[in-house]
Amino acid sequence: MSDELLIEKDGAIATLTLNRPDRLNTISVPMLNELSERLVECDRDRNIRAIILTGAGRGFCAGLDLQDSAAGTGIGSSGGAPAVNLDLRDAPPTVLHKVDTPTICALNGGAAGYGMDLALGCDIRIAAQSAKLAAAFTKRGVLPESGGTWLLPRLVGWAKASEIIFTGRTLPADECLELGLVNRVVPDELLIKETRALADEIAANAPLAVAASKRMMRMGLSEEFDDHVHHVFLQLMPLFGSADFVEGMKSFLEKRKPEFKGR
């Protein structure tokens, strides 16, 4: 395990921390590969019900490490290319999209380029007041390569996404909130506390139902309504047979908090 990505499991919550604060958590080859592995690991862990993604230090992620690339050892360089898994099915943004465990980005400071795509790839974003999203792709001669061209139009609409991407604009936290790119903005010192509180609220619900809901929301992005209703029904039937469904009904009738086991 590399020290460029930290993982902490506390109860039902896993926190993944990008850990290159001296480089504003720019993405290196080891970090890229390990982030995918840890996301899959957490998704397979039946004890984990929510995943928090954040960055160490004063920024979330300043994108790919251009210093390493220029030196011929990073992502996108000829020297670094053989070390990178180019199968995009295993890249972090794709993995983020596919995992059924809810993901929350605790957006501390700036998220630029690849870092912005990582943040947008999470299900929920809580932003510190100092946070900002920088769509700097076209200013660097590239395009949003890790999900941004798919995510942004769905989050803010075609016209606003076009403006953000074509101009390479940097959006402060309050504007991100106004556009719906983040769920809420909180004081910097309360970011982790507020994010953890939301993660705990999610984790208190039936994990099988939460995972099924996320799975159906994801499928609903690319299918017709009638097909979607059919697929929802197929997800619903096993839930009716789960112990958590019985507990949910029983706790409601008994007017107490449910204790879900994920079974």
Q: Residue 16: give the domain boundaries.
A: 5-203
Beta carbons within 8 Å of 65's beta carbon, 6+ residues apart: 23, 26, 27, 28, 74, 75
Give the other-Cβ count within 10 Å of 75's Cβ: 21
**79-83, 85-89, 171-175: least confident range:** 79-83
- Residues 200-227 have a mean pLDDT of 96
Co-location of 99 and 214 in the same domain: no
Co-location of 177 and 164 in the same domain: yes
Residue ending a domain, choose from 203, 218, 234 = 203
Asked if residue 263 belongs to a domain, the reply is no
Local confidence band at 64 (pLDDT 50, 70, 90 cut-offs): confident
More confident of the two residues 9 and 140: 9
Q: What is the CATH number of the domain that holds 86?
A: 3.90.226.10
What pLDDT does 83 receive?
42
What pLDDT does 159 receive?
97
Co-location of 52 and 179 in the same domain: yes
CA distance 241 to 78: 53
By CB atoms closer than 10 A (0-12, 13-18, 19+), residue 63 is buried
What pLDDT does 114 receive?
92
User: How do residues 68-79 score in pLDDT, each as one tens digit?
Assistant: 554 554 455 444
